[in-house]
Structure 1
Amino acid sequence: MNLYHLRYFVTLAHLEHYTKAAEILSITQPSLSHAISSLEKELGVKLFEKDGRNVVLTKCGQAFLDDVEHSLCILDSCINKLQMTGSGEGHMDIAMLPSLSTIVSRHAKDFLDSQPDKGIDFYFHTSTGLTSDILHGLKKRRYDIAFCTLQENEPLIDFVPISKQKLVLIVPKGHPLENRDSVDLAETLPYPQIMFSKESGLEPVIDKLFEDCGGRPKVAYSIGDDQIVADLVSAGFGIAIIPHMPTLNNMPVKIIEITNSTWERIFYMATLKNVYQAPIVHEFKQFIEKKNGGL
């Protein structure tokens, strides 16, 4: 079915006059008549009938008009979105760990400010706290870019470092360690702690730190998500060794430096290798790389 014929049909249906419709469409009247006849022959029904010098839709034509206009509207919308994307506009699907929301949103805002005349929309996805889930969505093309930790044995994914975090101790207000600015890890052993579960990449790291300091704390809870660990500490359920996330500065917890820990966690921007990226996605990726070139 010829797409032009469908557009001719819609124009004729609204003007109800072959000569006027042909003028609007910038084609000859015989060409318009031939297009409508071809369409009716393909469908096997009459779409128009004469009404004096004009034409009007048949019952079949009216039903067809409603569906054709709806279909053309969807098609035109899709074409417009793709044309915007091809010209460096459009939308991006960004997946990120919840602990990176402050960093990623700041980068996105800076990118928008750098291109105020472009129509750019970000769709942020933070429903999961696990890098493995995020990378699965990236490989399924649900996301354009992901911000997460490094995952080994991912040959299809390009990882670019964008941020560092060190481990700190956080305690709730009123805790005996609240007045401390630094602490040896062994000094935390007497207090119940909220630890990371085995689903988190931090679990073996923190286990090794405690093993090196010669003790093992009492585990109050095991949680996989950074933000939930921090929330439990702020509510008084225990203390925790946790990456120094920007959100901690706005929570009712005391952040204490760990004197015998030199561990750092590096966060990455992840994109699929050797796949087509829309211009706007490529530009945002380059923007992030330039901002973090010294990391």
Structure 2
Amino acid sequence: MELRQLEYFVRVARLQHVTKAAEELHVAQSAVSRQIHRLEEELGIRLFMQRGRNVQLTPVGQLFLRRAEAVLGDLDRAVMEIHEFLDPEVGEIRLGFPHSLGIHVVPQVVAEFRKLHPNVKFRFRQGMYPSLIRDIVDAEVDIAFISPYPEKSDQVTGEVVLTEELFAILPETHKLALKDSIMLSELKEDTFVLFSSGYSLRPIVWDACREAGFTPKIGFEGEEAGTIRGLVAAGMGVSLLPKMAMYETSSMMPAVVKISEPHVTRTIGIIRRTGEKMPLVVQMFHSFLLEFFKNQYQEQ
């Protein structure tokens, strides 16, 4: 079995078309077909079925695709690690993060890191909590910010770098908008604007309300901190957001009020795959992050 056969197979599987795969690979269609045929003969199975002008993976072909992609991915990482070993200053970091950290934190830390290491490249991947865990486990990213930090996991490891307080956000016309602080239970009759299911802040707010003795009445849902802020500012309800979600300003901003009881927080952590040595450039970035958060984002 040759590496070229795996490369051709993966490209055809992704495009579901031999001619298009050949065009991307800059080889003749007959060469791609010949290598796929040899691979099938060696394995003793059919990898593809014909579907009109396209091809479709057989069930066993789908199984083989996952393994072939893993092999090619490992080879790519091996080559990258060799280059980074020779010069980590020209390496690449694949960084995952939730949407809520993309407004301020990620741009800030990357900008500061690149002041010290200007030739390091970044590849970014945003996602919700479950997808960030999956991206780490599947080696789609090298390191990821996550919130809340997963306390128990055999597949990922890391550190909590920040514990951040959540504040109540209210329409400026709300009767409690001018208070210095409130108890969360004072909002039990209000309609809440929450993040959609799958976003980590939603269960944090939900659990805080339950701790305060009520179940929040959900009027609207959103997928971005800016959407939540805008809906609240427009009088559609109330919500809870962390301070770093308030950095961005617009003409529609809600009132921000401290919550005295219960004390609502979220943890922000950095995770990586358990038992796997990080490439040198990622180690360099990881050490930078720990020092950066220690100096810049210590909880007051």
Q: TM-score normalized by structure 2?
A: 0.62
Q: Distance in 2 between matches of 1:266 and 1:146?
A: 14
Specify whether residues 95 and 158 from structure 1 end up closer, same or farther in structure 2 by C-alpha distance, changes over 3 A only. Answer: same
Give 1:106's aligned amino acid.
Q
Q: Distance in 2 between matches of 1:153 and 1:80?
A: 33
Q: Residue 131 of structure 2 is aligned with which of 112, 130, 133? A: 133
* Identical-residue share of aligned pairs (%): 19
Q: Distance in 1 between matches of 2:170 and 2:94?
A: 36
CA shift, 1:243, in A, is: 2.5
Task: Structure 2 unaligned segments of length 5 or more: list them.
Answer: 1-25, 28-75
Give 2:100's aligned amino acid.
S
Q: Distance in 2 between matches of 1:210 and 1:292?
A: 29
| Residue equivalent to 2:123 | 123
Q: Give CA-to-partner distance per residue, 1:20-72, whole Å, 9 cap, x none.
A: xxxxxxxxxxxxxxxxxxxxxxxxxxxxxxxxxxxxxxxxxxxxxx96xxxxx
Give the 3-state SS of the residue equivalent to 1:245 in structure 2.
helix
The alignment's C-alpha RMSD in Å is 2.9
CA shift, 1:222, in A, is: 4.4
Q: Distance in 1 between matches of 2:208 and 2:140?
A: 37
Q: Distance in 2 between matches of 1:274 and 1:217?
A: 41
Give 1:109's aligned amino acid.
A
C-alpha contact (below 8 Å) 1:167/1:263 kept by paired residues: yes
Give 1:285's aligned amino acid.
H
Q: Distance in 1 between matches of 2:101 and 2:248?
A: 14
Describe how 1:242-253 pairs up with structure 2 within 5 A.
242-248=241-247, 250-251=249-250, 252-253=253-254
CA shift, 1:195, in A, is: 3.3
| Residue equivalent to 1:70 | none
Q: TM-score normalized by structure 1?
A: 0.63
CA shift, 1:80, in A, is: 9.2
Q: Distance in 2 between matches of 1:253 and 1:229?
A: 10
Q: Distance in 2 between matches of 1:188 and 1:103?
A: 29
CA shift, 1:232, in A, is: 2.7
Give the 3-state SS of the residue equivalent to 1:186 in structure 2.
helix
Decide which structure has the larger Cα Rg and report it.
Answer: 1
Task: Structure 1 unaligned segments of length 5 or more: list them.
Answer: 1-65, 68-77
Q: Distance in 1 between matches of 2:221 and 2:92?
A: 37
Q: Distance in 1 between matches of 2:203 and 2:145?
A: 21
